[in-house]
Structure 1
Amino acid sequence: MSSPARPQVPFAYRGKDDFRAKLARWIGDVFYDVLPEHGYEIREEQIFTAFQLADAVCKGKVHFAEAGLGTGKTFAYLLTAVAYARFKGRPAVIACASTVLQEQLAGPGGDIEKLSSLLGLDIDARMAKDPRQYICDAKVDQLNNPLWEQPDKTLDKVLSWAGETGRGERSELPQVPDRVWAQVAWDEDMSCDTCPARGYCKPVKAREHYRAALDLIVCDHGIFFDDLWTREERIADGKLPLLPDYAAVIFDEGHKVVLPAAMRAGRQVDEEDINSMLLALEKIQGARTSLLAAVVATDAATARFFNILHNSTIEDERSDRFIVRISDQLLKAAHTMQRALEALYFELQNEQELQLQSLSDTRLQSYEARVERSIMALRRFGRKEGKDVIVWVERGDGSFWVVPRDLGELLNKHLFAKGLPVVFSSATLSTAGDFSYFARTVGVLKSSTSSVASSFNYDQQVQVYLPRRFPEQRQISRFPLALGRLVALLRLWSGRALVLTNAPSEVRRIRKALQEYRLSFPFLWEDSGERGYLIRKFREDTSSVLVGSGFWEGIDVPGEPLSLLVIWQLPFPPRDPLIEARRRQVLEQELDPVSLVDYPEMGLKLKQGCGRLIRTSDDRGAIAVLEPVLGMPWERVALGALPEGARVVHRIADLKPDRSGSGKEEGSSKSSLQVLLEKKNSMSANPWT
């Protein structure tokens, strides 16, 4: 079968330089002529971003494209991505922060389909989803085979569907619980090389489909980094990489790449996973004595290691990852567990070589892969006494993670130094216009940048309340003062508010303190329900107040329900292992980690939080920051995170709860946020530059 014809660049050009010039002209035609004919408004912020991004891609640069909400970032990068992919004859990769964003971009009715229709272009875009989203035929066959395991009744529906489905994708059965799905889903421990279904199973078919994309491959950050870290090894082993060769990569929600990049480069040791495997091995009828002895030794070593590990953690309620205090005792326990796992691995290999059939080949190979992965993690941890890695304990499942400490160096080596165009697109990449913190974090040594504010009229849509500097009192005395201001604000707005704190314990503290006030509007507390449920209730009840520490991003509530955004506490970073590693790196260079790590982290998260208020051009509202900003060391960073051009008041009495956000009152204490920022811009230069 012949390959499909490669789509043509949507404009005529002669040579590389002419392509760059014609691309800019085509982008201008689309934004100034084509889209307005279909009812789209001309947004200069969007057009500027598109031009800057196109120039960087054509020159093979790493580019940070920061654009505020409502600027149309997606269309801005899609035009260049499609044209450049066709110019190079290879697809461009769009890496998103989640499966939901993948669907919004490349699913039915998504942005790519809309753009394709508007331009009259047949854009070939395909989604590359995590293979864990597909069923494993070998697992399904095993569950259907009563010789190995009798399926639970809850699996009946899934197994019936598995026999009929063509794609075998989880989205076809979204109501299936994680516990059930894990029993049928592909996982990295499956030995696909020897599987009877190799080459035509569901994940392979999905991979073959997206690898054939002519214009765009839309994946999540995890899949991209899976490919990046395994690419050279897979090629050396004669295997195809997870992604084909690509012309460029664009990270949508680029500020979120650090954690998936680290986790996909790291290794995990999961106590529950190991224990379930050991339990299954213990139940083997007629098992060899040496295998059972290895199981017992591994069980004891695992229990001891995790007991010492969990007694060595430093927990911070604000983080999903706990810092680990590394000690000789912990290192010795890790080494003992590693040796026990190595002995178990040897016995599992013997089991397979002797063809004793005590376990199915699929199950046996899966166990070998699990053991090998844990051994690799413990070896990394033990090397140089853990000084070359970042380790943590995951809050949710208590698993032990070991990731490279030099993540930025790895990213530079495997991605940025290749001369491939790389774009980070996000509304939150800089702090007060400075991209250096994020660039250092991801290992970018040289880049171009563009930054545009939101296309919304913040001077007309947003009021900002910044109280004058708090009285010089002890920190604990600020709580009643802030609480009084919170109550006054909520009464003025009759609810309709989102209150953001920096810790779950602070939510509980506010909840208890508000009991003495007779407030007539309903409160939705973070710990009182599932996140999606709380957000739905908040949208439905326009007088409600949502209070939590986990709503700084990922919440979209346009209109009347969210008219007031209260920043109860500035979001200074927690004691998180990844952030602690950056602090140590700065200290090693004899620089200040507070100003070079904590302040930028706070500024980025504050900017994300402020973005919750204005979601459409019709929205009006106020942002009230109840923690001191003016006159504080972090003033410049905090002011830079607030909506540009918003008008500032210093008294609650000067706020207008009608959401108009405009007009002046004689005698009121108001100033432009831009004026405040300009006053702070005379500060000393960044020590990194």
Structure 2
Amino acid sequence: MTASRLPFSLSKEHNFYEELGNWIGDVFYDILPEKGFDLRDEQIFMAFQLERAFKEKSVMFAEAGVGTGKTIVYLLFAVTYARYTGKPAIIACADETLIEQLVKQEGDIYKIANHLDIQIDARLSKSHDQYLCLKKLEKTMQREDDEKWLDSYESLPSFVHESHGMQTFYPYGDRKEYPELSNDEWSRIGYDSFQDCLTCDMRHRCGLNLSRDHYRKAADLIICSHDFYMEHVWTKESRKREGQLPLLPEHSSVVFDEGHLLEFAAQKALTYRVKQSTLETFLERLLQNDIREEFAELVEDALATNDEFFYLLKTNAKEVKGSHRLEIGRVDEVKRSASELCDLLEKIGEALVFESEMYTIDQYELSVVEEYIEQMAYSLSLYQKNAISWLEKQELDTTFVVMPKTVAEVLGEKVFSQKRPYIFSSATLSENQSFDYLAESLGIKDYLSMSVASPYDYDEQMQIYFHGIQQPVLDPEAKGQQVITQLKDNGGRSLILFPSFDELHLFRKQLEASNESLPFQVYFEGDEEISTIVQKFQADETSVLCSVHLWEGLDIPGQSLTNVVIWGLPYPPHDPVFEAKRNESKDAYAEVDLPYMLLRLRQGIGRLIRTSQDAGSIHIYFDGKEDKELQSKIESVLPVKPVITSL
């Protein structure tokens, strides 16, 4: 216990939780109001509910509407509990964008530190793909003669390529340090899961590894994404076997901000990605060693079967509209090939035990190959058990992806069975005022819960307009023109949320083809690093932001955002992940499509009103196919009654 760092004193008469409760009361009733903060009953109610969760080390679903100040509440508890236990708390956000929102200069961590005079040691733990890969940068420089790659190379710290005494190493290579690169450009130099980091000769000077050393030393908070936390959970034991530290250190509590999105993050972290070229690389390494002829023949058989397997995948893959994931057809034939490859890999794994005793293969390299072969064999066996699977085609290679259908059992065992405070925070956790659906999907058997509404007067602050409902289908070009007119009428200051990148790109093409001179800047997700775009949008008060992924978490109070356009109802895509969910349900629309759409719609609408002074309008576009029953369901989740307009 690090009592000296607590913002209150402990005594023999009162335990930690009693003193914490007293201090929390002082903060919300006295200290913050004196600093100009509103006294919010909803916030105080949430605070004392969280006290119970921390005291009992329980799971809590804390559903609190926009404007309740829920982030400040959970941060206060997380920081003080971290100091009490001597272990940092984990704040897991839905994605990398929300991480940046939390630590920005005017964010809630800054507010707490500034107004309560508490120095908070909060460090970011970003996902692997948010860091530069030195090897990929070198390859891209060799392949493409472009000055931006040379600029990126020359901006690297001197210690990356120079070795001399008394060097100071520090984290570098964060995606945010390259804001001018588009997402497509970043993918050419950023880390991906197929990099062989364990045998990389630059791993000790790698920005990703240096960042891990940095965030592991955090005293109070480690802030990461859901994906990263789940990857930590699933890889903890395998990393220990490889002689590596787990991705995250031992921690005192976990807060899942936007916790309703955790299930997909857990599935994603348990996803296995297999490239044709990766297995080839590992197996060909084995052939370069002094191995038995019998073993060499086994390896060559596996290489041939690997080629056949990926040939079948590529020739039977079908595109899915609105998704980059390709559906795999002729499943029986593909599974037969997968079974053959899996059997061969298992035989290779068994044979490697014998080869290791002959000491003809480097032991470290052998352990790396064994780990990969074991993972690939498992992914192929998972595929044969009807897991979710799809294919992704890149310019130079093909990736086979396998994901488990459910994660409830493994989450319940590996995560929520531990006696630790787990806090789920969001404005949208319940379904029909029940948290059971979320709890069951995550394998949570016992939990505490609370729910408070937003304190805002939405009738006074927000107007919602329905466009195109129960009318002839609106031509996309006509819709685009109407949206452009709305943007002009509003003087910019707008967020346009698209259900998919396909629709965003169509609108962009229309905007560019019109040669229309707009009196404001229009930003598009993907053109630059996302938090950089958000900062520009917030700073440029009359600008417009077009996005696919900012339905939740975006916090832009004030005049920079007074208009939210919902381009279309955000139904889930018809890709393999959601098709699997649909196939498992009795009524796919009622159990999968509709709940997803309504939840995402509520989140999108929540981007508009962020303070009691904000005001503006929401414009929701329909495609003309909706019936009165759907209209009624949508209206039931809206904070105000909508105005039905004619197109």
TM-score by length of 2: 0.77
Letter in 1 for 2:267: A
What CA distance in whole angstroms lies between the structure 2 residues aligned with 1:480 and 1:239? Answer: 54
Q: Residue 459 and residue 223 in structure 1: after superposition, are their counterparts in 2 closer, same or farther (change >3 A)? A: same
Letter in 2 for 1:392: W
Letter in 1 for 2:403: V
Is residue 218 of structure 2 the alignment partner of residue 190 of structure 1? no
Of 391, 394, 419, which residue of structure 2 is paired with 1:393? 391
Gaps of at least 5 residues in structure 2 are: 140-148
Contact 2:132–2:191 under 8 Å retained in 1: no
Of 629, 644, 647, which residue of structure 2 is paired with 1:650? 644
Match for residue 220 of structure 1?
225
Contact 1:248–1:421 under 8 Å retained in 2: yes
Letter in 2 for 1:610: I
Contact 1:437–1:596 under 8 Å retained in 2: no
Match for residue 659 of structure 1?
none
What CA distance in whole angstroms lies between the structure 2 residues aligned with 1:128 and 1:497? Answer: 31
Is residue 590 of structure 2 the alignment partner of residue 565 of structure 1? no
Contact 1:491–1:519 under 8 Å retained in 2: no
Contact 2:130–2:175 under 8 Å retained in 1: no
Match for residue 606 of structure 1?
601
Is residue 250 of structure 2 the alignment partner of residue 253 of structure 1? no
Contact 2:465–2:642 under 8 Å retained in 1: yes
* 3-state secondary structure, aligned to 2:36: coil
Q: CA deviation at 1:269?
A: 1.3
Match for residue 308 of structure 1?
312
What CA distance in whole angstroms lies between the structure 2 residues aligned with 1:507 and 1:197? Answer: 38
What CA distance in whole angstroms lies between the structure 2 residues aligned with 1:334 and 1:49? Answer: 51
Residues 334-349 of structure 1 aligned to structure 2 (within 5 Å): 334-342=338-346
Contact 1:437–1:597 under 8 Å retained in 2: no
Match for residue 630 of structure 2?
634
What CA distance in whole angstroms lies between the structure 1 residues aligned with 2:18 and 2:220? Answer: 21
* Structure ranking higher on relative contact order (CA contacts 8 Å, 6+ apart): 2
Contact 2:173–2:207 under 8 Å retained in 1: no
Of 315, 331, 337, which residue of structure 1 is paired with 2:335? 331
Letter in 1 for 2:43: Q
Q: Residue 61 and residue 586 in structure 1: after superposition, are their counterparts in 2 closer, same or farther (change >3 A)? A: farther
Contact 1:432–1:637 under 8 Å retained in 2: no
* 3-state secondary structure, aligned to 1:376: helix
Contact 2:523–2:537 under 8 Å retained in 1: no
Q: CA deviation at 1:411?
A: 1.2
Match for residue 427 of structure 2?
427
Match for residue 671 of structure 1?
none
Is residue 32 of structure 2 the alignment partner of residue 35 of structure 1? yes
* 3-state secondary structure, aligned to 1:521: coil
Of 95, 98, 115, which residue of structure 1 is paired with 2:92? 95
What CA distance in whole angstroms lies between the structure 2 residues aligned with 1:477 and 1:292? Answer: 63
Match for residue 625 of structure 1?
620
* 3-state secondary structure, aligned to 1:51: helix
Letter in 2 for 1:253: E
Of 177, 194, 199, which residue of structure 2 is paired with 1:174? 177
Is residue 589 of structure 2 the alignment partner of residue 594 of structure 1? yes
* 3-state secondary structure, aligned to 2:642: strand
Letter in 2 for 1:170: G
What CA distance in whole angstroms lies between the structure 1 residues aligned with 2:305 and 2:131? Answer: 34
Once the two structures are superposed, residues 118-152 of structure 1 have per-residue CA deviations (whole angstroms, 9 ceiling, x without a partner) of 33445555555557878999x99xx9xxxxxxxx9
What CA distance in whole angstroms lies between the structure 2 residues aligned with 1:568 and 1:403? Answer: 30
Match for residue 682 of structure 1?
none
* 3-state secondary structure, aligned to 2:564: strand
Contact 1:498–1:547 under 8 Å retained in 2: yes
Q: CA deviation at 1:438?
A: 3.0
Residues 64-103 of structure 1 aligned to structure 2 (within 5 Å): 64-88=61-85, 90-98=87-95, 101-102=98-99
Contact 2:495–2:561 under 8 Å retained in 1: yes
Q: Residue 441 and residue 102 in structure 1: after superposition, are their counterparts in 2 closer, same or farther (change >3 A)? A: same
* 3-state secondary structure, aligned to 2:425: strand
Is residue 231 of structure 2 the alignment partner of residue 229 of structure 1? no
What CA distance in whole angstroms lies between the structure 2 residues aligned with 1:120 and 1:511? Answer: 46
What CA distance in whole angstroms lies between the structure 2 residues aligned with 1:182 and 1:467? Answer: 43
Residues 152-551 of structure 1 aligned to structure 2 (within 5 Å): 158=156, 160-162=158-160, 163=163, 164-171=167-174, 174-175=177-178, 179=188, 182=191, 190=198, 215-231=220-236, 242-277=247-282, 296-313=300-317, 315-325=319-329, 327-342=331-346, 365-382=367-384, 386-387=385-386, 389-394=387-392, 398-431=398-431, 433-466=433-466, 470-471=470-471, 476=473, 486=483, 489-490=486-487, 492-493=489-490, 496-507=493-504, 521=518, 524=522, 529=527, 532=530, 549-551=548-550
Once the two structures are superposed, residues 573-600 of structure 1 have per-residue CA deviations (whole angstroms, 9 ceiling, x without a partner) of 112433333333432xxxx332222211
Q: Residue 632 and residue 305 in structure 1: after superposition, are their counterparts in 2 closer, same or farther (change >3 A)? A: farther
What CA distance in whole angstroms lies between the structure 2 residues aligned with 1:520 and 1:205? Answer: 46
Aligned residues: 620
Contact 1:466–1:629 under 8 Å retained in 2: no
Q: Residue 12 and residue 507 in structure 1: after superposition, are their counterparts in 2 closer, same or farther (change >3 A)? A: closer
Percent identity for Structure 1 against Structure 2: 34
Contact 1:135–1:186 under 8 Å retained in 2: no
Q: Residue 529 and residue 371 in structure 1: after superposition, are their counterparts in 2 closer, same or farther (change >3 A)? A: same
Letter in 2 for 1:76: V
Match for residue 143 of structure 2?
none
Contact 1:294–1:347 under 8 Å retained in 2: no
